């Protein structure tokens, strides 16, 4: 027998033994089970999945990435700060050498130990953004066609519950509970047996109600294959090679639009991105300090070139506006803009090269108020008092107001408060957009004093300011004119849609209160004391 024939015979024997012993061991538990390797093809061929219950593994069958490190890094950074996240990053090479279960437990310990339960909102306000960006479109299409969906995960329940139930509308989520003491996480998950008991109870109930349970899990996870084989009549396996060909879930296919999300990180903290962030941090601190010194102390004509050289990009677009700004009116112009960061009024003043412009805001930290190169006035949320204050400021010069009352990172506009339409007969809509690469310059649950600093920590932050056609008595009168027939609400909605059309943003009826209830669990009011 030749050498090639011996090799072919040996290869065939190995394949035979694998199929006979290994696969037979998995199939022997339930001879009625069906096993498929490609759920995206096999389940798409099924005509109707609505009568069936779909049980899927979250990280093995729904998410494209095989690494759980970015999600734990988000928790470590947002809940524990820079030191905790640095510690997790340093230990990650050693975690990669551990078994899957041991590595998972280590990352849970590093991310959660000592974190107060009430202060941890990353699962509902931060992580959904990163999870949604990692969802495979093909698998999402399969899950949409199913009846009841049950998501099973090795991750802590607190990390995935909000994402699956609120964003993907999954009916049941089975994760692993965290042990606690005195309202603080111990960094230890409950034993797997407890999750399996809960899973067993759910599947038995579904068998009684629907009669058929289809499982979708990773082909490379022996623990999940064993778990699903015990309870599912039909199982589909997902291979890593299948996931590489999946497309990401488009934003317009999200079951619910992602309008609000919190957290400082604007980049997904993969191991490589995390390394870049920590390498950039020392240079970012020096650069941000230099930007602050230049922006606060030098005249606009001198500061603008320095800031542009330092990486800050400001783009100004003017639409038939020059005559109105330079006109000798008794009252100043009222600039009404959407709200992207706390620096919006400052960039409008930079664009207009006017330092005597004033701004009103609903919430501003004392530090930001002291450092601001333009005058800022806090509003009290009392309509009469705030209206009088805005009238007084307009009599002194130009005024900037952000009627949304809070910032929004995504391409949406919140509802505009109509107060501005009552104080001026000249309204200049200003469309503002900003882009960052590393850090968001806004927060709902963090310290607002650091918002401008985080924005300036980015290597190339950019701002776009568009001065749109003014709304005046001769164009589209405000509600101060007696004969125009427009209410203050119609004027506010008109300005909102004008800015939305200029930016390509979608207008909503959501308010500041809606945002803070979702992200911070409060109504967004600032304690006067």
Q: Where are the alpha helices (DSSP H) in 357-417?
A: 366-371, 383-396
List the one residue out of 148, 131, 194, 144 whose CA is nearest residue 55. 148
Q: Tell me what pLDDT residue 275 has.
A: 97
Helix-, strand-, coil-residue percentages of the chain, each rounded to 5: 45, 15, 35
What pLDDT score does 78 carry?
92
Nearest to 157 by CA among 132, 129, 138, 178: 178
Tokens 């988000």 — which residue?
74
Beta strands 178-181; 184-189: pairing state: antiparallel
C-alpha 49/C-alpha 144 separation (Å) is: 9
Residue appearing with tokens 């699903």: 228
CA distance 394 to 391: 5
Q: Do the strands 172-176 and 462-467 form a parallel or antiparallel pair, or are they unpaired?
A: unpaired
Radius of gyration of the chain (CA): 28
Are residues 288 and 457 in contact, defined by beta-carbon separation less than 8 angstroms?
Answer: yes
Confidence at residue 352, expressed as pLDDT on a 0 to 100 scale: 84
517, exposed or middle or buried, with CB in 10 Å at 0-12, 13-18, 19+? middle
Name the residue with tokens 């700060």. 81
Residues 312/462, Cβ–Cβ less than 8 Å = yes
Q: What is the pLDDT along the chain (529 residues), one digit of tens a residue?
A: 555 555 555 555 544 444 433 333 333 344 445 555 555 555 555 556 777 888 899 998 999 998 999 999 999 999 889 999 999 999 999 999 999 999 999 999 999 999 998 888 888 999 999 999 999 999 999 898 888 898 989 899 999 999 999 999 999 898 899 999 999 999 999 887 777 777 777 766 666 566 678 888 887 776 666 667 767 778 888 888 888 889 999 999 999 999 999 999 999 999 999 999 999 999 999 999 999 999 888 888 888 889 999 999 988 888 765 455 444 456 788 999 999 998 899 889 888 888 788 888 876 666 666 667 788 888 877 888 888 888 888 888 889 999 998 999 999 999 999 888 888 878 999 999 999 999 999 998 888 888 999 999 999 999 999 999 888 633 344 454 444 557 888 889 999 999 999 999 999 999 999 999 888 877 665 544 3
CB-based burial of residue 218 (10 Å sphere; 0-12 exposed, 13-18 middle, 19+ buried)?
Answer: buried
Q: With contact defined as beta carbons under 8 Å apart, do 354 and 345 qualify? A: no
What's the first-to-final CA gap in the chain, in angstroms? Answer: 92
Give pLDDT, residue 301.
82
As given in the structure block, the two tokens for residue 220 are: 């490379």
Confidence (pLDDT) at 474:
35
> What is this structure's pTM?
0.85
Phi-psi region of 169 (alpha: psi -120 to 50; beta: other; left: phi over 0): left
């Amino acid at each position: 027998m030749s050498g090639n024939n011996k090799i072919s015979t040996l290869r065939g024997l190995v394949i035979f033994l694998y199929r006979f012993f290994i696969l037979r061991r998995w199939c022997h538990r339930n001879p009625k089970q069906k096993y498929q390797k490609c759920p995206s093809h096999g389940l798409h061929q099924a005509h109707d999945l609505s009568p069936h219950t779909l049980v899927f593994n979250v990280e093995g069958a729904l998410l494209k990435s095989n690494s759980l490190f970015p999600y734990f890094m988000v928790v470590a950074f947002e809940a524990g700060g820079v030191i905790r996240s640095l510690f997790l990053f340093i230990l990650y090479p050693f975690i990669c050498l551990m078994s899957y279960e041991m590595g998972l437990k280590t990352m849970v310990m590093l991310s959660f130990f000592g974190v107060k339960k009430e202060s941890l909102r990353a699962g509902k306000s931060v992580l959904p953004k990163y999870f949604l960006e990692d969802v495979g479109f093909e698998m999402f299409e399969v899950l949409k066609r199913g009846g009841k969906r049950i998501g099973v995960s090795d991750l802590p329940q607190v990390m995935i519950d909000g994402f699956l139930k609120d964003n993907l509308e999954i009916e049941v989520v089975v994760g692993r509970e965290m042990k606690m003491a005195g309202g603080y996480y111990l960094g230890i998950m409950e034993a797997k047996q407890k999750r399996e008991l809960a899973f067993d109870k759910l599947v038995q109930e579904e068998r009684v109600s629907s009669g058929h349970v289809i499982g979708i899990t990773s082909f490379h996870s022996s623990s999940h294959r064993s778990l699903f084989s015990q309870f599912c009549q039909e199982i589909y396996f997902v291979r890593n090679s299948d996931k590489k060909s999946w497309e990401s879930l488009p934003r317009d296919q999200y079951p619910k639009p992602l309008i609000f999300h919190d957290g400082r990180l604007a980049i997904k903290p993969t191991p490589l991105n995390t390394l870049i962030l920590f390498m950039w941090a020392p240079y970012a601190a020096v650069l941000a300090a230099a930007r602050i010194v230049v922006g606060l102390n030098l005249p606009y004509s001198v500061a603008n070139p320095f800031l542009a050289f330092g990486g800050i990009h400001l783009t100004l677009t003017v639409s038939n506006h020059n005559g109105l700004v330079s006109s000798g009116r008794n009252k100043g112009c009222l600039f009404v803009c959407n709200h992207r960061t706390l620096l919006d009024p400052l960039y409008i003043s930079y664009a207009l090269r006017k330092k005597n412009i004033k701004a009103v805001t609903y919430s501003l930290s004392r530090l930001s108020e002291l450092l601001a190169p333009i005058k800022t006035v806090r509003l009290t949320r009392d309509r009469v008092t705030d209206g009088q204050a805005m009238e007084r400021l307009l009599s002194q010069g130009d005024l900037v107001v952000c009627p949304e009352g809070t910032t929004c990172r995504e391409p949406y506009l919140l509802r505009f408060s109509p107060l501005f339409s009552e104080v001026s007969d000249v309204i200049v809509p200003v469309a503002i957009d900003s882009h960052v690469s590393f850090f968001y310059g806004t927060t709902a649950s963090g310290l607002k004093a650091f918002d401008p600093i985080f924005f300036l920590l980015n290597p190339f932050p950019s701002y776009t300011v568009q001065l749109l056609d003014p709304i005046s008595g001769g164009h589209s009168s405000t509600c101060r004119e007696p004969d125009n027939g427009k209410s203050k609400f119609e004027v506010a909605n008109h300005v909102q849609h004008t800015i939305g059309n200029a930016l390509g943003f979608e207008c909503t009826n959501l308010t500041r209160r809606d945002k803070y209830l979702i992200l911070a669990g409060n109504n967004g009011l600032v304690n006067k004391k």
